[in-house]
Every structure is written in C-alpha cells, then in structure tokens.
Chains A and B, each alone.
Chain A
Amino acid sequence: MTDRRAELMLGAAAVAVVLIIVAMVVFIAISAWPSFQYNGLKWFGSGGDIDAELGDMVNAGGDPTAADYRVRAWPLIYATALTTVLAVLIGVVVAVLAAIFIVELAPPRVRAIIVPVVRLLAAVPSVVYGLVGILVLVPFVNDHLISENQRESVAYVITLNGPGVLVSVLILTLMITPIMIALTVDALSAVPRGWREGALALGVTRWRAVMSVSIRAIRPAIVAAAVLASARALGEAIMLSMVSGSKGFAPQPWDGVLFLFEPLRPLAATIAEQAEGIQAPALKASIYAMALVLLVSSLMLSVGGSLIKRSLRLGTAR
C-alpha cells in the first residue's frame, strides 16, 4: 500500500467520524425545529402540565395541529439543572476530600485497596445504581422518612411514595463521584514532589501544604473532573427515570423538608420514556428539541470548562 493511499484511508476514518457527528447535530436540530418554531422562547418557560402536553401529542396522531405542539418544558429543565448542580457540588467537595484522604492520609495498605475499588465504582453501569436506588433507598425513604402528614398535605397535587429529589441526587452523586475521585487522585499524585517539600520546608503543616499548593495546582484537573461529571449527570436518563418519581413537576425548595421527597423528571429521562411514541410528529419534534437542549448544554459545558481551565493554567504558566 502506498503512503498516499494510507493517508487517504486513515483520513477517511477521521472524516467519517466527523461526518457522523455533524450529521447527528444537524439532524437533531432539524428534527427539533418545529417544536421551537411553534413555541418560541416559551418552550423554556413554565405554565402548563408538561406530562399532559406530551400525552396530547401522542393522541394527536399523525396530523397534529399547531396547538398540539405546545410545550412548556420548564419543570424538566429545572429538574435536570437541580439534580446535576446538586450532585456535582456535593461530588466535587467529596472528591477533593476523598482524594486528599487517599493520597495524603490513608495508610498505604488502605490506599492499595481503595484506588482500584474507586475505579471499579466509576465503571459500574448506571442502571445498577438505579436498581440499588429503587430497591433499597426508595423503600427506606418511603417507610421511614416521609410522614403521613406530609403525604396528606400535598396529596391533591402529587403523591409522595419514595422516589424524588433526595434519592435522585443521592444516587446521582454516588454515580458521578467515583470518576471525579479517580481523576483528582491521579492529579494529586502527579503534583511535583518539589512543591510539597518546598512548602513543608517553609514550616507549613502538611494539611496547609496540600491545600495551598497541591490543591491549587490541580485546579484545572478538578474543573475537568467536574465538567466530565456534569456531562454524565446531565445526560443520565435510565437511572433517573427509575428513581426520580418520573413526574413533570418542579419541586419547590421553599416547601422545606418536603422538597426532598417531591418527584421530578429531568430532560434525559423524559426522552427515554417518551421515545416509544416517536411516530407522532409533534412528540417527535418535542423530544428532539429536548435532545438538542441537552446536546447544546453539554457542548457549552465542555467549552466553558476548557475556558476556565485555560485561565487557571495561564495563572500558573503551565
């Protein structure tokens, strides 16, 4: 085989990958267009029962009217943002502390066990976490944490039977934290020894040396880990459809403790559940619109992440 032909062949593989990706983005955008066309910016707004709207789309069948396209997706967007932000915030704090524990504090024998275990946890399929959530956490929350009073107080709007904000965020955190820990541990162990010793030689306690030099130095890696984890949390469909309660409802933080038990359903889970009805044009446009929103968000996330990383690196000239 000649060099020229080899270059063309390998180049073709690269171009094929790009074409698939471009096709994906374009295709999703075109399919989503009718939904945005009919709803405009109100698509992102609140003021409607999203579950009823999606149901009507299926009933409208193959020839929907403009009214059938009506979508007010706010509860779903809110649910996506709520679960992602809470899980990532908890996850980052836990991951940094856990990484410090693993690299700096844990006895070597514990470290030798926990690092592979964390890697394994990072590879556990989300559906397994979902299974544990629905078979262990949901019954526990239902039986022990929700009181009858609470149940009755909102019975006319929603049913509280376990799945909801608390279980979703817990399981989501459990799912995304191991990968963040693994990445942070890698970065923390790669901090040059000279920095650590330099700080210690200046009479700084080990803890302060870690916090002020090591953690500072690995901030880009922490951002990268958080971005990766956010992308996973954002796009998690199946697991959240299992433990979220699957209701197009926006939990209200001012409901106090009740907030933790209120059901919700993020965008990704909505897509997974509604994909069966994709033959109905109105529903098809709506779920592609949701997919587009997810795709664009994950895109913005990675662009934003690399901008933050660059500015952090500029500060250190590394």
Chain B
Amino acid sequence: MSTAPTTGGPRATPPGRRQRLLGELRLWRPLDLLGVVAAWTVGALLLLVAASLLLYMGIKGLQYVSLDLLITRPQPGADQSETGGILDPILGTLMIIAIATAIALPLAVGAALWIVEYSRPRWLARVVESGIEVIAGAPSIAIAIFGLAIFQLPIFSWASFSAADGGGVFGRSFIAAGSVMSLIALPSIFATTREALQSVPRHVREASYGLGKTKWATIRRVLLPTVKPDIATGTALGMGRIAGDTAIIVLLLGATLQLQAGSGIPGVGTLQGTGSTLTSYVYNNSPTGEGNAPEKAYAAAFVLMLLIIGLNLLVAGIGRRRAGTDLPR
C-alpha cells in the first residue's frame, strides 16, 4: 500500500506553503489537531498568567514599598497609615531561616552521608529513607500542630515562656517555630546531597583510599568539598520553602506583630520570644486576617517575592558555576 505514491508524479512548481500545510493537516486526526491547538493555547495562557501575576505583584509592591516601610517597626492600629513598617517581619523571616537551617543542615547532610557512605544495617537505611520521604510529603500544617503540642510540654518550657502562675507553657517562640521549620528544609537538603554523593564516581573514593586516607578523611577532604555546591543548592531551595511557609509560623510563632522577648536575657530572650515573619504578616494583613491592611500586605509580599527570587537566582547561579567547572580543563 505504501508503495503507491501520494501524488501523481513530479510537479512543475513546488506547492505553496499554505497548500502544503493544508495538505498535511488533512492527514491529521481531529484529536491531534485539537491537542496542538490546546498546547498552544495553554502555552499562551501560561505566559499571560505568569506575566500578569508577576507584573501585578511588582507594580503593587513598588507602589507601596518604601525605605521607610522597611526600617520602621510595625504598630497595631486600625488605620493602614498608622500600622508602621515591616522591619520586625523581615527580621523574623531571617531569624527563622537562620535557626531552621542551622538545625536542618547538619542533620540532613549527616543523614545523607550516612545513607550513601555507610548505610549499615540495611533495614535502618531503608527506614531513614522512607522516613524522610514521609516528612517530605507530610502537610506542613500537620508538622506544625505536632510542634505546637511538643513545645507545650513542660520539658520544653525553656524554649518559650510560661504563664506567670506556672500553669502552662505557651509553646510559641522563635526556637519552637525555627526547629519545627527545620523539618520543612530537611528533605530538599537531604535529597540533593544524597544525589550528589551518589554521582561521585567510585574511582574518586578509591583514589583517596589508595593514598591511605581513612573513610572519614575521605569524606571530609574529598567528598564534602565535591558536593558543596549541591548542598548549597539544596539549602537555598530549603530556605525558599522556609521563607514561604505560613502554617508553622501562624501556629508556632505566636503571631505578635513585633518581636517580643520571652525573657530578660538579651539575645536568648528574643529567641524565646514571639514575633512575626513576612508570611504571617501578609496573612494577618489580608482581608481575612486581623490587621486588614492590604497595602502593607502587598508591600510585605513584594519583599517576600524578592527574597524568593534572590534564592532562585542563587540556585541558578550555583548550577551555572558548577556546569562551568565540569568542562574539561
């Protein structure tokens, strides 16, 4: 059948583009035509939605953000013009990121190193891997509610402040929110580190052992430097998730506008105290929240977006630099 030529012999002139296109389309199934049209439509729609969303946030943000806003502390107030700036939420976000990363980074890298380099006994390794998968898929609200109950236990009374009569532990503080938040960042750091370690060729390790180095020395001097960019990527991704999570903050940071020290000890008091982050600030100042100051919410969301964009650029930058070093020298 296929030996039969489709058109009767050579043509004097080549058919025009239009004619050829129509000729081709005749051979298409209707569903496929629909699919092509749908793909183009979705593509155009995606461009449109992405552009309008980013432009909208950008315009609204630039409209309401100002240097003044960034460096003044927020004040409670019914009128938007009296609610001050967003200094405390910015500090809060940075503090939460710092605390959570400080906890998640060693745990995740340690666990990844153990999984790839030791993983004895086997069953424990499998338990660790599936455990981290569980945490990666668990809703952050479930993690948050777990954290709230944990930090309300009397043994964690040092982490936040207690009622004056010794009745109950408040359970909400930077320490509480930060440590629970570390669980959010843990899976991405673990996954990128593990994958990077697994992709280190065997001969690199063998070369190091061949020089008489111990396993630990190999890990410290050879493996960790090699996978450092990947750890950085995972950490930046994890930081993005921390900066963007709202549920844990709303439940565990006490949702006070300003940083409020939990005790008189300088520094530590702040960690034991409550505060807000950009996400909780946006939430509280949206029409559903208590503050209802949309302009401030837009400004805070804009700053938050800048932070996320910064972290994204960081990830891309690390990726590009690493791609550069992979070239043969």
Co-assembled chains A and B? yes
Residues of chain A touching chain B, judged by Cβ–Cβ distance below 8 Å, are 1-3, 6-7, 9-18, 20-25, 27-28, 31, 94, 97-98, 100-102, 104-106, 110, 114, 116-121, 123-128, 130-132, 134-136, 174, 181, 205, 207-208, 211, 227-228, 231, 234-239, 241-242, 246, 268, 271-272, 275, 278-279, 284, 287-288, 291-292, 294-295, 298-299, 301-302
CB < 8 Å neighbour of B316 from A116, A241, A246: A116
Given contact pairs A18-B124, A98-B42, A106-B43, a sample of 11 additional A-B residue pairs in the complex whose CB atoms are under 8 Å apart: A2-B216, A10-B111, A105-B43, A127-B283, A174-B53, A236-B139, A271-B141, A291-B142, A294-B141, A298-B138, A299-B137
List of B residues within 8 angstroms of A228 by Cβ: 137
Does B32 contact A294, Cβ atoms closer than 8 Å? no
The 8 A CB mask of B33-46 against A (1 = contact, 0 = none) is: 00110111011001
Query: What 6 A-B pairs come out closest when comparing CB atoms?
Result: A235-B139, A13-B110, A125-B244, A101-B43, A10-B114, A6-B216
Taking the complex as formed, is B94 at the interface, i.e. its CB lies under 8 A from any CB of chain A? no
List of A residues within 8 angstroms of B311 by Cβ: 123
List of B residues within 8 angstroms of A271 by Cβ: 141-142, 145
Does B39 contact A105, Cβ atoms closer than 8 Å? yes
The distance in angstroms between the C-alpha atoms of A117 and B47, with both chains bound, is: 9
Whether A128 contacts B140 in the complex (CB less than 8 A), given A2-B216, A110-B47, comes out as no
The B interface is mostly helix, strand or loop, or mixed, namely helix
Interface size class of B (residues with CB under 8 A): 35 or more
List of A residues within 8 angstroms of B204 by Cβ: none
Taking the complex as formed, is B294 at the interface, i.e. its CB lies under 8 A from any CB of chain A? yes
The distance in angstroms between the C-alpha atoms of A301 and B114, with both chains bound, is: 27
List of A residues within 8 angstroms of B114 by Cβ: 7, 10-11, 13-14
Taking the complex as formed, is B91 at the interface, i.e. its CB lies under 8 A from any CB of chain A? no
B254: min CB distance to chain A, Å? 11
CB < 8 Å neighbour of B148 from A15, A17, A211, A278: A278
Chain-A contact segment, one of B67-75, B256-264, B268-276, B300-308: B300-308
Whether A205 contacts B39 in the complex (CB less than 8 A), given A7-B114, A124-B308, comes out as no
A/B interface sample: 23 pairs, CB < 8 A: A6-B216, A13-B106, A13-B111, A14-B128, A17-B135, A28-B142, A28-B146, A101-B46, A121-B53, A126-B244, A126-B246, A128-B305, A130-B286, A131-B297, A134-B287, A207-B35, A228-B137, A237-B140, A241-B288, A271-B141, A272-B247, A287-B145, A302-B137
Residue of A nearest to B50 (CB): A117
List of A residues within 8 angstroms of B133 by Cβ: 302
B310: min CB distance to chain A, Å? 11
Taking the complex as formed, is B222 at the interface, i.e. its CB lies under 8 A from any CB of chain A? no
List of A residues within 8 angstroms of B245 by Cβ: 125
List of B residues within 8 angstroms of A118 by Cβ: 46, 50
B228: min CB distance to chain A, Å? 17
List of A residues within 8 angstroms of B35 by Cβ: 97, 207, 211
The A interface is mostly helix, strand or loop, or mixed, namely helix
List of B residues within 8 angstroms of A242 by Cβ: 283, 286, 288
Does B32 contact A208, Cβ atoms closer than 8 Å? yes
List of B residues within 8 angstroms of A12 by Cβ: 110
Does B312 contact A116, Cβ atoms closer than 8 Å? yes
The distance in angstroms between the C-alpha atoms of A41 and B214, with both chains bound, is: 57
List of A residues within 8 angstroms of B251 by Cβ: 272, 275
* A-contacting residues, B232-262, CB 8 Å: 240, 243-247, 250-251
Residue of A nearest to B46 (CB): A98
Does B247 contact A238, Cβ atoms closer than 8 Å? yes
CB < 8 Å neighbour of A6 from B24, B139, B219: B219
CB < 8 Å neighbour of B145 from A28, A114, A127, A299: A28
List of B residues within 8 angstroms of A114 by Cβ: 46-47, 50
B42: min CB distance to chain A, Å? 4
Does B294 contact A135, Cβ atoms closer than 8 Å? yes
Taking the complex as formed, is B150 at the interface, i.e. its CB lies under 8 A from any CB of chain A? yes
A183: min CB distance to chain B, Å? 13
The distance in angstroms between the C-alpha atoms of A98 and B152, with both chains bound, is: 46
Whether A15 contacts B142 in the complex (CB less than 8 A), given A299-B134, A301-B137, comes out as no
Residue of A nearest to B118 (CB): A7
B285: min CB distance to chain A, Å? 9
The distance in angstroms between the C-alpha atoms of A100 and B294, with both chains bound, is: 38
B179: min CB distance to chain A, Å? 10
Whether A27 contacts B282 in the complex (CB less than 8 A), given A114-B46, A298-B139, comes out as no
Does B145 contact A288, Cβ atoms closer than 8 Å? yes
CB < 8 Å neighbour of A237 from B127, B135, B139: B139
List of A residues within 8 angstroms of B124 by Cβ: 11, 14-15, 18
List of A residues within 8 angstroms of B32 by Cβ: 205, 207-208, 211
A316: min CB distance to chain B, Å? 22
The 8 A CB mask of B105-130 against A (1 = contact, 0 = none) is: 01111110111011010001101100
The distance in angstroms between the C-alpha atoms of A4 and B145, with both chains bound, is: 38
The distance in angstroms between the C-alpha atoms of A288 and B141, with both chains bound, is: 11
A294: min CB distance to chain B, Å? 5
Residue of B nearest to A7 (CB): B118
CB < 8 Å neighbour of B301 from A11, A127, A231: A127
Q: Which of A98, A123, A234 has the most CB of B within 10 A?
A: A123
B236: min CB distance to chain A, Å? 10
Residue of B nearest to A22 (CB): B131
Does A174 contact B49, Cβ atoms closer than 8 Å? yes
Does A18 contact B305, Cβ atoms closer than 8 Å? no
Does B312 contact A123, Cβ atoms closer than 8 Å? yes
* A-contacting residues, B95-112, CB 8 Å: 106-111
Does B134 contact A268, Cβ atoms closer than 8 Å? no
Taking the complex as formed, is B318 at the interface, i.e. its CB lies under 8 A from any CB of chain A? no
Residue of A nearest to B218 (CB): A3
Whether A24 contacts B312 in the complex (CB less than 8 A), given A18-B128, A105-B39, A127-B246, comes out as no
The distance in angstroms between the C-alpha atoms of A23 and B183, with both chains bound, is: 13
List of B residues within 8 angstroms of A174 by Cβ: 49, 53
